[in-house]
Amino acid sequence: MEPISRFRGKTVALAIPNIDTDQITPAKFTMVTDKVGLGRILFAHWRYRDAEKQIPNPDFPLNKPGAQGATILVAGDNFGCGSSREHAPWALVGYGLRAVVSTSFADIFRSNALKNGLLPIVVDPESHRQALREAEGNLEFVVDLPEQTLALASGRAVSFAIDPFAKRCLVQGVDELGYILSHERRIAEYERSR
């Protein structure tokens, strides 16, 4: 996993509330046994006129010339509801995104995103409206994970909350499994005690 600390990135707006994981990665295209290459199928039903042949839909925000190279997605409220399939963050990361900004995230999606180096950033409704406006124009934001701030293009700085443990893992680029494995003795004791 790539460590995340501070980065500047181009934005793209998808001002739709309640984007569910069946939109992020339609189930039909998730029949894979590995994680790589899923960037192609991101938002497949919206992004392509014909998803099988991958003929792009020029009206979709990600397909606009100005959005190319975007690393920060500003989405509508409650992003990531629906399935637990981790294909959703795999595809977002595979596409090149490093952060998603919304007013809230579904629990499983948030947890899956954090485990894949994708930062879910929750902001207040007013900052969200401004972020959406700026992202319509693909302006650049600065994400500072150690400081937990998101600086919009206009200079407005918004602080965001993040689980301190998840933050440590992201900044150091380490995963959680190592941490759980370090408790092996306790786990074995727990198993014996029951």
Partner 1 sequence: MPKTLFEKIWDDHVVTAEPECPAVLYIDLHLIHEMTSPQAFEGLRRRGLKVRRPDRTAATIDHIIQTTPERFQPQKDPRVAALLHSIEENCRAAGIRLYGVGDEQQGVVHVIGPELGLTQPGMTIVCGDSHTATHGAFGALAFGIGTTEVEHVLATQCLLQRKPKTFEVRVTGRLPQGVTAKDIILAVCAKVGIGGANGHVAEYRGDTIRALSMEERMTVCNMSIEFGARAGMIAPDDTTFRYLAGRPFAPKDFERFRRLRTDDGAAFDASIDIDAGRLEPMITYGTNPGMGMAIGASIPGDAPKKALEYMGFEAGKPLLGHSIDVVFIGSCTNSRLGDLRQAASVLKGRKVKVRTLIVPGSGPIKRAAEAEGLDKVFVEAGAEWREAGCSMCIAMNGDELKEGEICVATSNRNFEGRQGKGGRTILASPLTAAASAVEGRVADVRTYL
Q: For the chain, first and last CA: distance in Å?
A: 36
Q: Give CA–CA dist 48/58, Å, rounded.
A: 8
Whose Cβ is closer to partner 1: residue 61's or residue 89's? Answer: 89
CA atoms within 13 Å, Cβ hemisphere of 27: 5
Joined together, the tokens standing for residue 9 give 């990135």
Residue 85 binds partner 1, judged by CB under 8 A: yes
Q: Which amino acid is at 155?
A: G
Q: Is 111 exposed, middle or buried (0-12, 13-18, 19+ CB in 10 A)?
A: middle
Residue among 3 and 69 whose Cβ is closer to partner 1: 3
Residues 113 to 152 in contact with partner 1, rule: CB under 8 A: 115-116
Least CB distance from residue 68 to partner 1, whole Å?
25
Whole-angstrom Cα distance, residue 128 to residue 63? Answer: 22
Give least dist CB 149 to partner 1, A.
21
d(CA 122, CA 119): 10
Task: Report the nearest approach of partner 1 to the CB of residue 178 (Å).
Answer: 9
**Sole binder of partner 1 in the list 68, 146, 165, 174 (CB under 8 A):** 165
CA 14 to chain centre: 13
Number of residues that bind partner 1 (CB under 8 A): 50
> If binding is defined by CB under 8 A, does position 55 make contact with partner 1?
no
Q: How far apart are CA 86 and CA 40, in angstroms?
A: 15
- Out of 81, 99, 131, 150, the only residue in the binding site for partner 1 (CB under 8 A) is 81
Residues that bind partner 1 (CB under 8 A): 16-18, 20, 22-23, 26-28, 30-35, 45, 51, 77-78, 81-86, 89, 104-108, 111-112, 115-116, 163-165, 175-177, 179-181, 183-184, 186-187, 190-191
